[in-house]
Amino acid sequence: MPSSEFNHNEQYDEETLTIVDEDGRSLPCYIEQSLEVDHLTYLLLVPVDIPVIIMTINQDSEDELEAAVLDDEEAIAEIFDNAKAVLAEQNLYLHHTAYTLTATGELPPIEEEQVLTLDSGEDDDEIEEELQSLCYFFHADQKYGIYTPLTPLLFFARYDAENRLELVSPDQENLLPILEELLSEE
């Protein structure tokens, strides 16, 4: 994962850091957990605002819904203003932040018919993720949906030898045991 710049953020009551990506976008995060291992501090971070994803929605002839996460930056930029306007009608305000889109405002109550379950499509270790539907809109004859994950979006980070914070992957340098310990402390 690319390095990020982190700053202490005084705006929030709880301890937070702001992740800044290579494009200069920021994402304020709460520090959920921290752990020192071998003179390095590892952190588990959760965005302050509501993470959202935009998906393309296609309906086939058998009433089956096909949804795909829109992660192409150019495609997101093209539909961003429409998505922002549609979310604003729900009193939610869309932001193009680092590593994920986020929204501010109050989420509507979760209703079972508004939950979309995605599976990874991998047969062996099938991972399901539940998303709450926030709204739909059309752009250039394509239907889009805006969703928020029902499970928290987590970022794993550590201070490097120069005391800079960087995002890290649990696969990197066998960090999975450290991540598991951070998760078990919740």
Query: How much is the pLDDT for 50?
Result: 96
Condensed to tens digits (0 to 9), the pLDDT of residues 148-170 reads: 999 999 999 988 778 888 888 87
**pLDDT band per the 50, 70, 90 thresholds, residue 182:** confident
Q: Does 183 have pLDDT greater than 50?
A: yes
Give 121-141 pLDDT, tens digit per residue.
555 556 788 999 999 999 999
Mean per-residue pLDDT over the chain, rounded: 84
| Cα–Cα distance, 55 to 68 (Å, whole number) | 5
Mean pLDDT of 144-150: 95
**How much is the average pLDDT of 25-47?**
89
Is the per-residue pLDDT at 59 higher than 90? Answer: no
- Mean pLDDT, range 51-73, rounded to an integer: 85
The H or E element containing residue 42 is: strand 40-47
Token pair for 30: 């709460």
**What residue ranges in 48-186 does DSSP mark as E strands?**
50-59, 65-69, 92-96, 101-105, 115-119, 128-139, 142-149, 155-159, 165-167
β partners of residue 30: 16, 46
Residue 56 has pLDDT above 50, yes or no: yes
Which sequence spans correspond to the domains of the chain?
A: 5-48+152-184, 50-149
Lookup: tokens for 83: 């998505």
